[in-house]
C-alpha cells in the first residue's frame, strides 16, 4: 500500500498542475501561449533530472539500511541535499545569461521568447526546492514508504498552489508573474513538509 496509491496520486497531482497552468495561459495572447508551451517543455526536461536525484537518494538510503548502518543516514542525506541545492541554485542564478539564448532556438517571436524566458527563470528558482524535495522523496522510497510524499504533495499543491493559481488568474488576469510565484510557494511548502517529517523521524 505504501508504494502503490500514494505514488499514483502524486503523479496525478502533477498532471492536474500542468492542466491548470495551461488553462490559465490559454486565455493569454497566442505569442505568450506559445512561449509558455516552449518554457513548459524545457522545464519538464529539467524536472526529469530530479527523478534521477530521487533514484540516487533511494539507492544510498537502501545501501545504508541494507548494510545495517542507518545511523549516518541523516548526515549523508543533508550533505547530498546541500550538493543538489548548490547545483540547482547555480543554474537558477545563471539563468539570466542563457535562458533567452536557449529559448530562441525553439521560437522566434520576441514576445514568446520573453514570456518563456521569464517562466523558465521563475521555474528554475522553484526547482531549487523541488530538487531538494526529490532527495527526501528518494530517502522515503528507500525506506519503503511514500505516505510523507503524498502528504507533502497534498499540502503544497492541492491546498496552496491550485487555489492560488485559480484565484490569482481571476483577480490579476494577464499577469503571469503571480502564477509563477505561486509555483515557488508550493514547492517551498512541499519541501518544508518533507523536511520537517524527515528531521523528526531521523
Instruction: Please give the average per-residue pLDDT across 126-135, as a whole number.
Output: 91
Instruction: Band the pLDDT of 182: cuts 50, 70, 90.
Output: very high
Domain membership of residue 179 as a residue range: 5-201
Instruction: Band the pLDDT of 154: cuts 50, 70, 90.
Output: confident
Instruction: Please give the average per-residue pLDDT across 46-53, as a whole number.
Output: 83
The 10s digit of each residue's pLDDT in 1-10 is 455 566 667 7
Q: Is the pLDDT of residue 60 over 90?
A: no
Distances (CA, A) of 87 to 65, 71, 76, 163: 27, 26, 17, 31
**Per-residue cell: 29:** 495572447
Q: Which residue has the higher pLDDT, 168 or 48?
A: 168
Q: Using CA atoms, how far apart are residues 190 and 131, in angstroms rounded to an integer? A: 11
Instruction: Band the pLDDT of 68: cuts 50, 70, 90.
Output: low
Q: Is the pLDDT of residue 33 over 70?
A: yes
Q: Is the pLDDT of residue 69 over 80?
A: no
On whether the CB atoms of residues 117 and 38 are closer than 8 A, the answer is no
- How confident is the prediction for the chain on average, in pLDDT? 86
**Per-residue cell: 32:** 505568450
Q: Looking at residue 192, what DSSP letter applies?
A: H
Q: Is the pLDDT of residue 35 over 80?
A: yes
Domain count, the chain: 1
Instruction: Please give the average per-residue pLDDT across 89-109, as a whole number.
Output: 95
Q: Using CA atoms, how far apart are residues 144 and 58, in angstroms rounded to an integer? A: 9
Amino acid at each position: 500500500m505504501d508504494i502503490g496509491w500514494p505514488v499514483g496520486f502524486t503523479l496525478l497531482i502533477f498532471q492536474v498542475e500542468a492542466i491548470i497552468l495551461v488553462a490559465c495561459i490559454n486565455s493569454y495572447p497566442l505569442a505568450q501561449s506559445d512561449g509558455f508551451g516552449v518554457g513548459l517543455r524545457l522545464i519538464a526536461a529539467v524536472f526529469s533530472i530530479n527523478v534521477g536525484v530521487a533514484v540516487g537518494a533511494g539507492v544510498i538510503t537502501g545501501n545504508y539500511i541494507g548494510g545495517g548502518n542507518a545511523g549516518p543516514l541523516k548526515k549523508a542525506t543533508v550533505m547530498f541535499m546541500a550538493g543538489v541545492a548548490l547545483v540547482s541554485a547555480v543554474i537558477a542564478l545563471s539563468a539570466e545569461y542563457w535562458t533567452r539564448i536557449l529559448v530562441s532556438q525553439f521560437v522566434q517571436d520576441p514576445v514568446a521568447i520573453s514570456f518563456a524566458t521569464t517562466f523558465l527563470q521563475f521555474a528554475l528558482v522553484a526547482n531549487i526546492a523541488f530538487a531538494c524535495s526529490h532527495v527526501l522523496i528518494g530517502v522515503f522510497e528507500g525506506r519503503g514508504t511514500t505516505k510523507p510524499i503524498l502528504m507533502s504533495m497534498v499540502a503544497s499543491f492541492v491546498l496552496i498552489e491550485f487555489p492560488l493559481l485559480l484565484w490569482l488568474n481571476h483577480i490579476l488576469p494577464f499577469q503571469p508573474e503571480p502564477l509563477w510565484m505561486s509555483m515557488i510557494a508550493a514547492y517551498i511548502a512541499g519541501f518544508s513538509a518533507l523536511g520537517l517529517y524527515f528531521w523528526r523521524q531521523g
